[in-house]
Amino acid sequence: MPVFPLGAHVDDSGARFAVASTSADAVEVCLVEEDLTERRVELTERTFGVWHGHVPGVRPGQRYGYRVHGPYRPWEGHRSNPHKILVDPYATRITGRVTDLCAARGWVDDPMTGPASTVDSLGSVPLSVIDVASSSPLPPRPDVPWSETVITELHVKGFTKLHPEVPVEQRGTYLGLAHPAVVAHLQRIGVTAVELLPVCASASEPSLVERGAVNYWGYSTLGFLAPHAGYAATPGEETTEFRTMVDTLHAAGIEVILDFVPNHTCEGGVGGMTLSYRGLDARSYYSLGGAGHDNDITGTGNTLDAGSPTVIRLVCDAMRHWVTRYGVDGFRIDLASVLGRPHSGPFDPHSSLLTAIAVDPILSTTKLIAEPWDATGEGYRVGGFGVAWSEWNGRYRDAVRDFFRGHGHIAELASRVTGSSDIYGLSGRRPWASVNFVTAHDGFTLRDLVTYERKHNDANGEQNRDGTDDNRSQNFGVEGESTSPVVRARRRSAARAMLATLLLSIGTPMIVAGDERWRTQGGNNNAYCLDDETTWVDWSPDRLDPSAAEAMTAFTARLTAIRRYSPDLHRDVFLRDEDVRWWNPGGRLMEPGDWHDGHARALGLLTGEWLFLLNGDGGARPCVLPGTAALRPVLDTTREDGCPPADRVLRGGSTITLPPHSLLLFRRIPAAPQ
C-alpha cells in the first residue's frame, strides 16, 4: 500500500487515504453523508509517521474527516481528541464553516489544565471533500520577465463585488475576476500580474467567530491546497472556477500570484479551535514553547514550525499543487521571515524550508516574493533573503511617503527609486528583487494616505487599538474628506506624485487594486474584518469628485505605458555610477554635502533619456534645468491627466518652477551634431 502522496486519491475501486501524525495511537477516516451520519474506517497501516489505507467504493464528492485517538496532555503539547472531526491538511476541497465555537474547542474550562471536551464537533465545523483535478492540460503561462512585471494586489471578492458590468451572480467570485470587463480594466492600467489576497480555504479566528465577524482578508488558512469555497459563483464549483479564472487571465497575458500564508493557521492559540493540525499532531505542526504553549511570532496565536519535516513537506507540496494543477505563476509569502526561523529561533536565510522552496524544480521556476518580516524585531529582514527571492521593500514605502510629506532624507529616496542596490546588489540579486510599493492591503489606501493623519478603525470592534499608528501620512489641513476644491486638488496632486514615483522607479512596482479608482476606506488602515462597502472597490462615480476615478485610472495607464516603452525604466541590472547623475535644482550636480542636508526637499535624476525632477515640499521652488541637452516635457503630476501644459522643448539652463508635491518627467533630446 503506497504511503504517498498524502491526502485522499480516488482510483477505480475506491480511494486511498494518507495523513501524517506521529503522536496518534489510532486514526479513523470518517465518511460523512448529507444527513451527517458517518461511517468510520480505521487506517491500520502506519509508515514513516503516516497513517494510510484504502476504502472501497468511495467516489469524488465524498465528504470526510479524521478522528485521532492518542494522548491528551496539553502541558506536553499533545491534544488528541477523537470527539473532534478534523479536516485533512491535504484536502483539495473544503466545505462548511465553524458554527459552534464550543464544539470546535478541544478543551473544557481551561485549555491547559482542563479535561478534553466530549462535545462532538461533527456538524459544527468544516469537512474535507474528495475532488478530482481536470484532465485538460494547462495552457502556457505568460512568463512575463521580472523586469517587465507590474503587479496589482487585489481581493477576489472585493474587486468585483460592486462591478456594474459583471453579472450579479458572478460578482465577488473567481468568475467575476475573469469577466471580460474586469480583464479589460486590468489590461488598460497596464498590470502584468494580479497578486491575490489569500485564496486558500480559510476560517475566521475564534475572536472573530465570538463576535460574529469574519476574516475578510483571508489570512487564516484552514486548508493549504483547497481554493476558498466562498468565492465560487456556483457552490461546490470552486476548483473548476478557479482554474477558469487563471486560464482567462493567462490568455490576457496576466500572471497570477498567490498571497500564501504558511506561517500560521486559523486555529488560534491553545485557547482556540481544534479543526485540523492541533488535533492531528500539534507538536509536529506548531512551534511550541514551555509547558505546551504556542510560540507566537506571527501575532495570530500560533506559528507553524518551519523546522518540522511535516510542515516543510506540507508547504512545498501545497505550493507545487497550485502550480501543477492550476498553473499559478508565483507566490507572495506572508510573514516569510517565519519560514526562516525553525522552532521560532533566530532567522536563517538558508533554513530548511526556505531552501526547499528555492531549489524545488517546480517552485524555482515561479516568482517568489517574501514579505521579509514577522511580528517580532528579529523577523525584520528586508534584504536578508536568498538570491531566489524578491521582497516587499518596506524601506521603499517609508522613503516615498516621507519624502512627499516633507520628511526624510533625499539620500534615502535616491537609493530607493534607483532599485535599492544597497539592499539587494551585494547578494547578487537584480533590481526587480525590490518589490516597490507605497500602499498595500494593510494600511491606508492611496486616497486615505493624503486624507487622514490618524487611523479610524472603530468599525473593527477593537476600540481603534488595532492597526499601525506609523502611517507617515498627511491630511492637508483637514482630517477626513473635504468639500474644499483646493484641498481636494492638493491631495490628488500629491497622490499622483507618489503613484508616478512608484511606477517609474527601478524595481518591481506593486499598486493596490482600487487606488487607481481613488478608493477610500474612510481612514481605516486595518479593515481585515470588514466584508462590506468599506473594503469593496466602488466602480461608481465619486460623490465629491465625480471625475476623479476615471482621471486616476487614465493617469495610471499613462504611467505604465511610459514605463513599458522605456528600457531605462525597467532595467534588468543596477545602474552604474556612470549611468546616473544627480541634479541639485539650484543648477549644478549634487555634491557630497548635499546628501546630508536634512532640509533638502527637491532632487533631480538624469539617467538614459530621462530627467526626473521631484519636489516633496509643500511649497513651490525654482529649478535650473541641466544644460547638457534640450528637454521635452512628458509628465506633470500636478495635472489630472499628467499631460504637461505645453508640449514645447525647453532649453538646458532654463529656470522653471517645481510645483509642491510633484514629479516632472522630461525626455532628453541630444543636440544635433555640428
| Residues annotated catalytic, as ranges | 334, 371
Q: Is 39 helix (H, G, I), strand (E, B) or coil?
A: strand
In the block, cell 491500520 appears at 44
Q: d(Cα 29, Cα 69) in Å, to the nearest integer?
A: 12
Strand partners, 8: 17
Tell me whether residue 627 is exposed, middle or buried, using C-beta atoms within 10 angstroms of its C-beta: 0 to 12, 13 to 18, 19 or more. Answer: exposed
- What percentage of the chain's residues is helix, strand, coil (to nearest 5)? 30, 20, 50
Tell me whether residue 59 is exposed, middle or buried, using C-beta atoms within 10 angstroms of its C-beta: 0 to 12, 13 to 18, 19 or more. Answer: exposed
* CB within 8 Å of 597: residues ≥ 6 apart: 410
* CB within 8 Å of 2: residues ≥ 6 apart: 16, 18, 52
If you write DSSP's letter for every residue of 324-342 in order, what string do you get?
HHH---EEEETTGGGGG-G
Query: HSE-up of 83 (CA within 13 Å, CB side)?
Result: 16
Q: Is 367 helix (H, G, I), strand (E, B) or coil?
A: strand
Q: d(Cα 391, Cα 334) in Å, to the nearest integer?
A: 11
- Per DSSP, 186 falls in state H
C-alpha cell at 234: 456556483
Q: Is 400 helix (H, G, I), strand (E, B) or coil?
A: helix
Q: Is 218 helix (H, G, I), strand (E, B) or coil?
A: coil
C-alpha cell at 666: 522630461
435 contacts 507 by C-beta, under 8 angstroms:
yes
Sign of the torsion formed by the C-alpha atoms of 338, 341, 342 and 343 = negative
CA dihedral 212, 217, 222, 228 (to 10 degrees): 100
C-alpha cell at 271: 485557547
Q: Hey, how many other C-beta atoms are within 10 angstroms of the C-beta on 36?
A: 11
C-alpha cell at 405: 510629506
Helices then strands, counting H and E runs in the chain, come out as 15, 29
* CB within 8 Å of 358: residues ≥ 6 apart: 364, 368, 386, 388, 389
Tell me whether residue 655 is exposed, middle or buried, using C-beta atoms within 10 angstroms of its C-beta: 0 to 12, 13 to 18, 19 or more. Answer: exposed
C-alpha cell at 103: 464544539
Q: d(Cα 171, Cα 5) in Å, to the nearest integer?
A: 36
The size of the chain, in residues, is: 674
* Backbone phi and psi for residue 322, each to the nearest 5 degrees, phi listed first: -65, -30
Q: Which amino acid is at 294?
A: D
536-572 in b/e form (b: 16+ CB < 10 A) is bbbbeebeebeebbebbbbbbbbbbebbeebeebbbe
